[in-house]
Amino acid sequence: MPVNFYGLSVYRQFYIQMIYVFIFMIPFLVVPTLAQQNSQQCITNYNAQTDYFPAKVQVDTATLFSVNYFHNYKLVSNKRTNETFALYQCGTPVPANLPNGTKIFSVPVRRVATLATTSNTFLEELGVGSDIVALDVEQFVSSPCLQKGLNNGTIAQVSSTNTTAMTQTLAQVDVVFGSDTATSSNNTVSDSEVEDPGTLNRAEWVEFYSTWFNLEDVANNISAKINNNYNCLRRAANNITGTKPLVAWVSYDAPASYNNNTPSWSISTATYKQQFTTDAGATFLAPSNAYFLSSKDFLTAIQNVDVIIDETYIAASLSDVLGNFGISNTTASSYKFVANKAIYREDGVQTVAGGDDWFESAVAFDDAVLADVIAAAHPGYPSAAYTRIWLRNIAEGEPIKYYTAANCTGSEATPRADPAFVCTGNFAVASQPSSTPSGSGSGALAISVLNALIVAVVAIVTTTFIA
């Protein structure tokens, strides 16, 4: 029967019913988007037509790895080492007709070993740090919770000095991360995050690691947050008024037997350091000649530098740095970076044995590194209360922060939070972001917005038509 719109009561009733139908349908429109997660269990009823990886990563920035998806497996490639890995969903058929030399893994993996510290933070970001059962370079592992695992025996230490024991231990895990070259071992995976040129290139390797755990949805969320925060920091830093400071990343190589007892000095021109510098609203020193065999030539090259980031392997004090550079007490004040007390080192966080966290978590949290570089180039930013994590001002006598097992306050089964300053666009507020478990993030935000919309619609309906 047609609706009679000439009756006001019928008009009200019709539109109220339509609004409630719309509200009722909202969950059915939203849920499919939120449900894009890959299985953490083995498949018990295989269907060749099913896409077993509804959540996928799309490599946007990194240049040294790729991921291609098929119905029940994915091909992950390290372009630098020319290794390819076939990861098939547990409980489905092992893929056939793969490229020669392809290593095959059943996913999700459960037992993991790492041979390089850079792998550790990516796994902790994903919330699978508890899957790490063996580690190399024990004394250089800065993660407090991994140190705790080593101390209480839940994580085994492997050492290349005992190849027999190392081989036996690594044979008992599903995957071994951390090799920088291709190996013949069937469960060893080469990774190249530190070689991938560019700041966000390195951070995106969390997506590479996620494929072994079927946690692509978590990795996508992590990448999006780091990218958004990084770009917000970059825009804000480049809106800081005034002259852009000149920044140089330098190092001193002391005479030793391996270099024929010849000292040398160098200025780094690495792509990611250049990006960190320019994205921090500063000018990057990149001379045509960046390698020097005399202190005099080196000092001439850096004479106009405002900020120094010293990457020399060992320098315990300001006097060590100046001595390494060949700067005397009588000439020190003629250098702006000395007069302004703007000499930084990357050793702000270390293990007791001297392992630098710069080579561990700084590789994964590039937005946090950018905040540090901003603070070094522009004191007082990103906020007056900001405390640098890795860049230690040795000219100001800032101490090294030592991470031990006692600093472990969380669980390795929980995603590790990004320590970066949270950018709001104007450097107004510093805060620590909380970790985001699988299934939250943008989906949770969508639900919150929809809930608010529902409340508003109901209120309008009630006020307008019923009251």
Q: For Cα atoms 80, 102, 67, give the angle at the middle one, nearest 5 degrees.
A: 60
Per the CB < 8 A criterion, the answer to whether 339 and 346 are in contact is: no
pLDDT band for 425, please (50, 70, 90 cuts): confident
Task: Show Cβ contacts of residue 381 under 8 Å, excluding neighbours closer than 6 positions.
Answer: 237, 240, 374, 375, 427
Predicted local confidence at residue 289, as pLDDT? 96
pLDDT band for 464, please (50, 70, 90 cuts): very low
Answer whether 65-224 and 228-407 agree in fold: yes
Q: Are strands 349-350 and 392-393 parallel, antiparallel or unpaired?
A: unpaired
On the CB side of 155, CA atoms within 13 Å amount to 27
Task: Show Cβ contacts of residue 179 under 8 Å, excluding neighbours closer than 6 positions.
Answer: 115, 116, 188, 189, 190, 191
Dig out the tokens for 31 from the structure: 């849920």
Dig out the tokens for 396 from the structure: 């100001």
Average pLDDT over residues 197-215: 98
Average pLDDT over residues 44-73: 98
β-bridge partners, 82:
none
Per the CB < 8 A criterion, the answer to whether 219 and 364 are in contact is: no
β-bridge partners, 291:
266
Average pLDDT over residues 387-393: 99
Nearest CA among 142, 150, 162 for reference residue 419: 142
Per the CB < 8 A criterion, the answer to whether 236 and 382 are in contact is: yes
Predicted local confidence at residue 271, as pLDDT? 97
Predicted local confidence at residue 430, as pLDDT? 34
pLDDT more than 90, % of the chain: 78
Nearest CA among 124, 151, 123, 152 for reference residue 138: 151
Nearest CA among 287, 299, 346, 305 for reference residue 325: 299
pLDDT band for 360, please (50, 70, 90 cuts): very high
Per the CB < 8 A criterion, the answer to whether 380 and 286 are in contact is: no
More confident residue, 428 or 320: 320
Architecture per CATH, domain 228-407, reads as 3-Layer(aba) Sandwich (3.40)
Nearest CA among 153, 185, 162, 160 for reference residue 172: 185
Average pLDDT over residues 196-212: 98
Domain boundaries, the chain: 8-35+441-466, 65-224, 228-407
Average pLDDT over residues 391-409: 97
pLDDT band for 16, please (50, 70, 90 cuts): low
Nearest CA among 93, 67, 374 for reference residue 230: 374
More confident residue, 17 or 370: 370
Asked if residue 53 has pLDDT above 80, the reply is yes
What does the DSSP 8-state code read for residue 405?
G
Domain 65-224 fold: Rossmann fold (3.40.50)
In the β-sheet with 65-69, what is the strand arrangement from edge to edge?
Answer: 65-69, 73-78, 83-89, 103-107
Predicted local confidence at residue 293, as pLDDT? 97
pLDDT in tens, 236-252: 999 999 999 999 999 99
Predicted local confidence at residue 160, as pLDDT? 78
Average pLDDT value for the chain: 88
Per the CB < 8 A criterion, the answer to whether 310 and 250 are in contact is: yes
Rounded CA gap, 441 and 219, in Å? 11
Q: Is the Cα dihedral 67, 176, 87, 85 positive or negative? A: positive
Predicted local confidence at residue 439, as pLDDT? 36
Rounded CA gap, 430 and 433, in Å? 10
Nearest CA among 363, 358, 414 for reference residue 125: 414
Q: State if pTM tops 0.95.
A: no
pLDDT in tens, 262-317: 999 999 999 999 999 999 999 999 999 999 999 999 999 999 999 999 999 999 99
Q: For the residues of 58-75, what is the DSSP string, one character each?
A: --SS-SSEEEEE-SSEEE
Asked if residue 183 has pLDDT above 50, the reply is yes
Nearest CA among 217, 143, 194, 146 for reference residue 419: 143
Q: For the residues of 3-31, what is the DSSP string, one character each?
A: --TTSHHHHHHHHHHHHHHHHHHHHHHHH
Nearest CA among 65, 366, 56, 359 for reference residue 191: 65
pLDDT in tens, 145-160: 999 999 999 999 998 7
> Highest mean pLDDT range out of 371-375, 381-385, 434-438?
371-375
Rounded CA gap, 228 and 208, in Å? 19
pLDDT band for 138, please (50, 70, 90 cuts): confident
Helix axes 442-461, 8-34, angle to 10 degrees: 170
Asked if residue 3 has pLDDT above 70, the reply is no
pLDDT band for 404, please (50, 70, 90 cuts): very high
The torsion region of residue 132 among left (phi > 0), alpha (psi -120 to 50) and beta comes to beta
Per the CB < 8 A criterion, the answer to whether 321 and 393 are in contact is: no
Predicted local confidence at residue 18, as pLDDT? 55
Predicted local confidence at residue 9, as pLDDT? 53
SS3 407: helix
